[in-house]
Structure formats: C-alpha cells, structure tokens
Amino acid sequence: MPRITIHVGGRERLEPAISKATPMGALPTEAIVRLGPTMISGSATALRALADALVEAAELADNYDADPDAYNERERAERDPDH
C-alpha cells in the first residue's frame, strides 16, 4: 500500500460533513472531514477510531516535547521490561 503523508499546519480549514444515506439503506451515511483540498470519509465508527488515534498521537507528541528523556525511558522500559 502506498504511503500518503498529510501534514497539518493549523491553517488548513477543517470542515465536517456527511453524505446522506440512500433511500432504503442501499448506501449508508458516511462521515466526511474536509482538510483543505483533502477529503477523509468513512463510517462514523471508522472516523471515531481515526479521531482516537489522532488524539493519542497528539498526546504522545506533547509528552515527548514536555520531557524527551522521560519519554524515551518509558519507551525503552515498554520494549524491554527486563532492563
């Protein structure tokens, strides 16, 4: 699978939306987030999972920035609990 990197710098417009379901449920309603010219879409469950991962990544970055040495030590301890 090819890698796609989306760099968010804070100036991009974020716009939530939905694509409405078709009559009789032939196609489900999709959640959509437009990030500048990029569109991310999927089920509500999939976008919530993505949102959870984004929050976790942001927290990891904040923790590292707050104390890189402590962060690295925790990472080492998780990888090698015997040392």
CB 47 within 8 A of CB 40: yes
Q: In the prediction, which pLDDT does 53 show?
A: 96
Inter-CA distances, 10 with 7, 35, 54, Å = 9, 10, 14
The separation between CA 14 and the C-alpha centre of its own chain, rounded to angstroms, equals 13
Q: What is the pLDDT of residue 1?
A: 75
- Please give the pLDDT value at position 48: 95
Helix 68-79 / helix 44-66 crossing angle, nearest 10 deg: 120
Three-state secondary structure call for residue 34: strand
Q: pLDDT tens digits, the chain, 83 residues: what are they?
A: 788 888 888 788 999 999 987 777 788 889 999 998 899 999 999 999 999 999 999 999 999 999 999 999 999 998 887 76
Report how far apart the first and last C-alpha atoms of the chain are (Å, whole number).
Answer: 36
pLDDT of residue 51: 95
